Amino acid sequence: MKKYLFANWKMYLDVAESVALARAFKNLKQSSEISTAVFPSALAATSVVAALQGSAIAVGAQNVYFVDKGGVTGEISAAMFQATGCEFALVGHSERRHLFGETNHVVRQKIDAVVTTKIIPVLCIGETKEQRDKNETAEVLEAQIRSAFTDVAWPAGRDFIIAYEPVWAIGTGAACEPEEAERIAGLVASWTTALMGPEFALIILYGGSVRPDNVSAYINQTHISGVLVGAASTHEDSWQAILEAL
Return d(Cα 50, Cα 232) in angstroms, integer: 23
Q: How far apart are CA 228 and CA 230, in angstroms?
A: 7
- Mapped onto helix, strand or coil, the DSSP state of residue 87 is coil
Check if 105 is active-site: no
For residue range 194-240, list pLDDT tens digits in order.
Answer: 999 999 999 999 999 999 999 999 999 999 999 999 999 999 999 99
Tell which residue, 162, 246, 174, has the closest CA to residue 209.
174
* Ranges of the chain with pLDDT below 70: none
The residue from 93, 95, 127, 223 that is catalytic is 93
Find the radius of gyration of the CA atoms of the chain: 17
Q: Side-chain half-sphere of 120: how many Cα atoms within 13 Å?
A: 20
pLDDT at res. 230: 95
Q: Report strand pairing: 3-8 vs 160-164.
A: unpaired
The H or E element that residue 46 is part of is: helix 45-51
**pLDDT at position 170:** 85
Closest to 228 in 3D by CA, of 220, 240, 241, 218? 218
165 catalytic per annotation = yes
Read off the pTM.
Answer: 0.96
Domains and CATH numbers, the chain: 3-245 (3.20.20.70)
| Catalytic residue (choose from 95, 127, 165, 182) | 165
CB atoms within 10 A of CB 150: 10
Q: Cβ(66)–Cβ(109) under 8 Å?
A: yes
Short-list 216, 209, 214, 223, CA closest to 168: 209
> Residue 216 has what pLDDT?
94
- The residue ranges of DSSP E strands in the chain, in sequence order, are 3-8, 34-39, 58-61, 88-91, 120-125, 160-164, 202-207, 226-229
